[in-house]
Amino acid sequence: MKFLIENWYLVLTALVSGGLLAWTSVKDKSAGVSTAEAVRLINREKGVLVDVSDAAEYAAGHANGARNVPLETLTGTELPAKQLPSNKALPVVLMCKSGARAQRAAGILRKQGYANVVVVAGGLKAWREASLPIEKSAA
């Protein structure tokens, strides 16, 4: 105990640095994953890419292979079972035009029991900037 009292500045430094490390790791996860990490999850961990944009935005352009599950369909009591994986342990990679709606959808899916839900940071805009494939649907 005497050591702690005499070296209070060392203890304070350790606590502050630990707190900052914890804060940055939490902050980074909530901001979303990079497009490279999203592609890795899809290709190597059988992740399911889900676009939570409305039908018109989805038809105008979406990531190649993305399933469309509009955010408003997630707010009901029952989730759209066909578009979402039945195995709730699989990674679910969410995106929308900018990432804001995908963040809200991530919270909803986590409450529904999906264990590995991530959001593509920057959304479709970041996907385009990374020169990843985009397709359009018939409206």
C-beta of residue 95 within 8 angstroms of C-beta of residue 57:
no
Q: CA angle 47-55-41, nearest 5°? A: 10
Place of tokens 């359009």: 136
- Model confidence band, residue 9 (pLDDT cutoffs 50, 70, 90): confident
Q: What backbone phi and psi angles, to 5 degrees, belong to 117?
A: -110, 125
Residue extents of the structural domains in the chain = 1-31, 32-135
Active site residue 130: no
User: Domain 32-135, CATH 3.40.50.2300 — does that match?
Assistant: no
Given this model, what pLDDT does residue 83 score? 81
Catalytic-role residue among 52, 74, 92, 96: 96
User: Over the stretch 47-79, which tens digit does the pLDDT of each residue have?
Assistant: 999 999 999 999 999 999 999 999 988 876 666
Provide DSSP, 39-73: HHHHHHS--EEEE-S-HHHHHH-EETTPEE--HHH
| Model confidence, pTM | 0.75
Rounded CA-CA distance 6/74 in Å is 56
